[in-house]
Amino acid sequence: MAERNRTNLKAADLESRYMKRMAEDPNCSGIGYVYVKPTGNHPPQETWTHTLISFRPNTSRTPLKTKAMHDILNKLRQEFDLLPE
């Protein structure tokens, strides 16, 4: 198994990166906030998971938006680990 070189981030920094990536994707419009939490695992296992994604009022969650969110999450999981608090 190849070693994964991922950047270590604090939760707030990871959430910020996630929001920035979603803002760049037109399919993610209307998403207002994301919250991540540690899994308790250590690298190379996934060190974080998302627990909350909130939408702005009057924004619906469509299958296209859900797919775009999950695509971004999967890319971020390959790039970043969550620093222990």
Count of all residues that appear for the chain in the document: 85
Give Cβ neighbours of residue 76 (< 8 Å, ≥ 6 apart).
14, 17, 18, 21
Model pTM? 0.81
**Confidence (pLDDT) at 27:** 86
Would the pLDDT of 1 be above 70?
A: no
pLDDT digits (tens, 9 = 90+) for 25-71: 988 888 878 888 999 999 889 999 887 777 778 888 888 888 888 89
Would the pLDDT of 72 be above 60?
A: yes
Domain boundaries, the chain: 7-79
**Confidence (pLDDT) at 4:** 65
Instruction: State how far the Cα of 73 lies from the Cα of 51, in Å rounded to an integer.
Output: 12
**Confidence (pLDDT) at 3:** 54
